[in-house]
């Protein structure tokens, strides 16, 4: 039985992943900003088989709240061995390009606060000599593109941070799992026209659970995104700059 | 999101909502809208009862959470967008089953209530609504009602079978049924005509929980109404056996340019199916999945009917004239060379339906698909309605896209009483059609 902390548990993708943990009989500690939605998800995960589900309201942007939240999760679950960081925002690229404060805010949520959280978790897991740390990044982090480079660069920072963390924690036996979803049909992308590349949150949630179970270092979900991003990152600038990506 | 994602299962009629709002959490108030609104569950209604052209559709797919389940009593509470498939996945391993299930598990709980669906056990269990202990109803006047057979009983009776028109059903509590395992004891008998069907059905109701028959809708004369009778009971536990995968089946990949079910294929398909087994009777053990949901194994099978979609017709005729009326219906269908190979006959029981507008009532029910061939198909369905109206029967709104308002009022005599419970902010293509109101 895993003892799982999910930060940003009210996200659609996180909820789908959590259902797999619940069905496997894992204990869960959830955080999110909306108390009512946390309560509804708590009830659901209990019905689906999680022996313990506890929840705490927290805004992950508030770095000073992290340590107490992790302590509370450990106390509620009697320890901690798996963390999934699932929150994030998809900022409006045009607003971020126009306003430095918007760009920095997007970085604070998608990179800075995650790095703060993962640093605290990493130190604890390194001391206990075990555990799995997973965070949802994005294929957008593989190459900066005009359409979403502020979001993409924050995820790129997170990717490099997690690569280094994985390297550091290898000796301690701690797994670090970077999840890179492509486009997913969730409230975050509600305003997008959905093409054939959009995946369901059910599929992505199942892939996340599998990646954590296996300790996959970098998980593209759905898997075809690894090929797409390999091509996009390999495009020579002379061609890349003429695309509308 | 493009409106074409919100079609009905028959892929007819073409209808486009002006707006779609997908709910992510249990609402405490209805969305604001300048147009009428309607909940859209999983789009398994066949006709236009789940559509709201130029109006707002409230996508319930995100309300898919369980609220509580007591594995000792089998009482389950969940949000209205939960699919029956999700319930089965959760409860079957714990020894529980749906009290009533329609022929697909991909319907939402809200949809099952709104259409007061029935199944092969109607003669013993009645409709789905009979097993609903309570439901949450959100009205456009801001009230949130908890309705049950005892509390707000008039609202409960209007909402069960109420086609989603009394407000937004947000959650429900259902009493499940005990089972010992996932397998079924199935007894399959060939019958050579309609009289034989009625004899077998009468002899089966007492000993079999589930009864249904497939009929060859192309057979005429002394073979009229021939088919296979399938009767079954849940099997006592037989230890661990592998479960067939539920969601892993093939997907019908595209809409075929013409209907695969047409004049050239209809008779051979039916004749082959009638002669599929040499022995006139067989007993076997089947997993509940293929037994209850044979078509769920092929995703999007509705695409096989081609770009014009199809119309389903399900009617019930009272016992008194049932033999003659069913014979006349089958004769008119066979004479027209219409129908499909998905023709189903079942005798309903006398268990009273709980909804003002529930379709099931004592009698015999016949259901068939018709590829949409335009005016000739609609004319045939009108000729079937003549038979049903003369017999004092009814046609099932969940499967209808064309019945007249006159026919509807005759089939559903409680319509005038029901109107008092219709939420003024709610409407559907079906409702506007059968009440003759504009949107």
Is CATH 3.40.50.720 what the domain over A3-240 is classified as, yes or no?
yes
* Chain A residues within an 8 Å CB radius of B5: 194
Domain spans of chain A?
A: 3-240
Rounded Cα distance between B248 and B222, Å, is 42
Measure CA B426 to chain center.
22
Cα B395 to Cα A242, B100, B315, B375, distances in angstroms: 59, 20, 4, 19
Interchain pair A36, B25: CB under 8 A: yes
E-strand ranges in B112-166 read: 132-138, 144-147
Interface probe with A: pick from B21, B22, B65, B92, most Cβ of A within 10 Å: B65
Q: Are B348 and B125 in contact (CB under 8 A)?
A: no
Rounded Cα distance between B340 and B410, Å, is 28
B254, two tokens: 């595209």
Measure CA B63 to chain center.
21
Residue with tokens 């020894």: B95
CA nearest to A223, candidates A197, A192, A193, A243: A197
> Which stretches of chain A sit within 8 Å of chain B by CB?
12, 34, 36-37, 40-41, 43-44, 47-48, 187, 190, 193-194
In three-state secondary structure terms, B348 is: strand
Interchain pair A187, B67: CB under 8 A: no
Q: Which residues are bridge partners to A178 per DSSP?
A: A135, A218
| Per-residue pLDDT band at B339 (split at 50, 70, 90) | confident
pLDDT of residue B2: 40
CA nearest to B64, candidates B38, B44, B90, B28: B90
Rounded Cα distance between A105 and A120, Å, is 21
Residue with tokens 């947000």: B170
pLDDT of residue B237: 78
Mark the ranges of chain A whose per-residue pLDDT is less than 70: none
For A109-122, how does the pLDDT look when each residue is reduced to its tens digit (9 = 90+)? Answer: 999 999 999 999 99
How many residues in total does chain A contain? 245
For B67-93, how does the pLDDT look when each residue is reduced to its tens digit (9 = 90+)? Answer: 999 999 999 999 999 999 999 999 999
* Chain A residues within an 8 Å CB radius of B109: none
Phi, psi of A228 (to 5 degrees): -60, -45
Stated as kind and residue range, the H or E segment containing B316 is strand B310-317
- Annotated catalytic residue A220: no
CA nearest to B24, candidates B78, B62, B64, B81: B62
* Chain A residues within an 8 Å CB radius of B65: 40-41, 43-44
Q: Which ranges of B36-193 does DSSP label H, i.e. alpha helix?
A: 84-91, 109-114, 122-125, 153-159
pLDDT of residue B243: 58
Nearest to A47 among B24, B62, B68 (CB): B68
Rounded Cα distance between A211 and A4, Å, is 14
**Looking at chain B from residue 202 to 221, which residues have their Cβ under 8 Å from any Cβ of chain A?**
none
* Chain A residues within an 8 Å CB radius of B176: none
DSSP-derived secondary structure for B276-302? S-SSSEEEEEEEHHHHH-GGGGSBTGG
Rounded Cα distance between B341 and B344, Å, is 9
B299, two tokens: 């995703």
Question: How far A176 CA lies from chain B's nearest CA (Å)?
Answer: 30
pLDDT of residue B3: 40
Question: B66 to chain A: nearest residue by CA?
Answer: A44
B86: Cβ–Cβ under 8 A, 6 or more apart, which residues?
B64
Q: Is the pLDDT of residue B153 over 90?
A: yes
pLDDT of residue B273: 85
B115, two tokens: 């259409």
Interchain pair A44, B90: CB under 8 A: no
> Domains (ranges, CATH) in chain B?
183-399 (3.30.70.2520)
In three-state secondary structure terms, B173 is: strand
A240, two tokens: 């890349």
Q: Are B8 and B312 in contact (CB under 8 A)?
A: no
Interchain pair A44, B24: CB under 8 A: no
CA nearest to B122, candidates B141, B148, B105, B102: B102
Phi, psi of B153 (to 5 degrees): -60, -30
Rounded Cα distance between A131 and A176, Å, is 9
Q: What is the average pLDDT across B147-165?
A: 98
For B161-186, how does the pLDDT look when each residue is reduced to its tens digit (9 = 90+)? Answer: 999 999 999 999 999 999 999 999 99
For B385-404, how does the pLDDT look when each residue is reduced to its tens digit (9 = 90+)? Answer: 999 999 999 999 999 999 99
**Looking at chain B from residue 59 to 118, which residues have their Cβ under 8 Å from any Cβ of chain A?**
62, 65-69, 79, 90
- Interface confidence (ipTM) of the complex: 0.92
pLDDT of residue B1: 36
Q: Is the pLDDT of residue B318 over 50?
A: yes
Q: Are B20 and B36 in contact (CB under 8 A)?
A: no
pLDDT of residue B169: 98
DSSP-derived secondary structure for B165-176? -SSEEEEEEEE-
Rounded Cα distance between A223 and B56, Å, is 36
Q: Is the pLDDT of residue B439 over 60?
A: no
B355: Cβ–Cβ under 8 A, 6 or more apart, which residues?
B116, B127, B129, B157, B158, B159, B160, B161, B162
* Chain A residues within an 8 Å CB radius of B2: 193-194
pLDDT of residue B67: 98
Chains A and B form CB pairs within 8 A to the count of 36
B163, two tokens: 């086609």
CA nearest to B103, candidates B432, B368, B394, B364: B368
């Amino acid at each position: 039985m895993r003892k799982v902390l999910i930060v940003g548990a009210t996200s659609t993708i996180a909820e789908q992943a959590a259902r797999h943990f619940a069905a496997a009989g894992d204990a869960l500690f959830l955080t999110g900003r909306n108390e009512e939605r946390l309560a509804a998800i708590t009830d659901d995960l209990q019905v689906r088989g999680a022996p313990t589900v506890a929840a705490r309201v927290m805004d992950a942007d508030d770095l000073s709240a992290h340590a107490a939240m992790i302590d509370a999760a450990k106390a509620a679950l009697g320890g901690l061995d798996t963390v999934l960081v699932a929150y994030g925002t998809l900022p409006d690229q045009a607003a971020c390009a126009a306003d430095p404060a918007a760009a920095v805010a997007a970085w604070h949520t998608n990179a800075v606060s995650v790095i703060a959280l993962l640093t605290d978790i990493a130190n604890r897991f390194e001391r206990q000599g075990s555990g799995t740390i997973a965070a949802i990044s994005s294929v957008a982090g593989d190459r900066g593109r005009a359409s979403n480079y502020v979001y993409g660069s924050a995820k790129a920072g997170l990717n490099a941070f997690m690569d280094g963390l994985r390297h550091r924690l290898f000796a301690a036996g701690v797994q670090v799992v970077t999840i890179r979803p492509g486009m997913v049909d969730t409230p975050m992308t509600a305003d997008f026209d959905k093409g054939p590349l959009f995946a369901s949150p059910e599929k992505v949630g199942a892939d996340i659970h599998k990646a954590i179970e296996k300790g996959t270092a970098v998980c593209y979900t759905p898997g075809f995104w690894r090929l797409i991003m390999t091509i996009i990152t390999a495009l020579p600038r002379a061609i890349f700059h003429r695309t509308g990506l | 999101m493009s409106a074409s994602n919100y079609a009905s299962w028959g892929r007819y009629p073409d209808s486009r909502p002006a707006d779609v709002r997908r709910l992510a959490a249990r609402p405490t108030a209805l969305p604001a809208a300048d147009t009428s609104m309607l909940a859209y569950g999983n789009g398994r209604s066949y006709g236009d009862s789940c559509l709201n052209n130029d109006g707002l559709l409230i996508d319930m797919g995100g309300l898919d959470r369980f609220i509580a389940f007591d594995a000792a009593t089998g009482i389950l509470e969940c949000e209205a967008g939960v699919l029956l498939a999700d319930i089965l996945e959760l409860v079957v391993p714990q020894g529980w089953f749906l009290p009533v299930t329609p022929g697909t598990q991909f319907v939402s709980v809200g949809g099952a209530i709104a259409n007061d669906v029935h199944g092969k056990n109607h003669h013993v269990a009645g409709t789905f609504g009979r097993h609903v202990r309570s439901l949450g109803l959100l009205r456009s006047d801001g009230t949130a009602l908890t309705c049950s057979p005892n509390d707000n009983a008039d609202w409960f009776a209007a909402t069960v079978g109420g086609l989603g028109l009394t407000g937004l059903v947000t959650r429900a509590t259902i009493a499940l049924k005990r089972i010992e395992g996932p397998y079924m004891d199935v007894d399959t008998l060939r019958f050579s005509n309609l009289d034989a069907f009625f004899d077998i059905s009468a002899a089966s109701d007492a000993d079999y929980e589930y009864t249904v028959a497939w009929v060859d809708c192309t057979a005429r004369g002394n073979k009229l109404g021939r088919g296979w009778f399938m009767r079954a009971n849940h099997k006592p536990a037989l230890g661990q056996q592998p479960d067939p995968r539920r969601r892993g089946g093939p997907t019908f990949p595209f809409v075929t340019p013409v209907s695969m079910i047409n004049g050239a294929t209809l008779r051979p398909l039916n004749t082959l199916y009638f002669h599929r087994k040499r022995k006139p009777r067989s007993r076997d053990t089947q997993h509940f999945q293929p037994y209850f949901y044979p078509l769920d194994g092929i995703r999007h099978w509705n695409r096989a009917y081609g770009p014009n979609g199809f119309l389903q017709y399900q009617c019930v005729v009272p016992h008194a004239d049932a033999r003659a009326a069913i014979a006349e219906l089958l004769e008119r269908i066979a004479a027209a060379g219409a129908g499909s190979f998905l023709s189903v006959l079942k005798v309903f029981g006398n268990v009273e339906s709980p909804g003002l507008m529930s379709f099931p009532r004592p009698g015999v029910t016949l259901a068939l698909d018709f590829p949409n061939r335009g005016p000739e198909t609609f004319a045939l369905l009108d000729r079937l309605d003549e038979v049903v109206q003369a017999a004092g029967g009814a046609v099932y709104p969940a499967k209808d896209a064309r019945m007249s308002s006159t026919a509807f009022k005759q089939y559903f005599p409680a319509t005038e009483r029901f109107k008092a419970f219709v939420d003024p902010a709610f409407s559907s293509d079906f409702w506007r059609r059968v009440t003759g109101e504009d949107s």
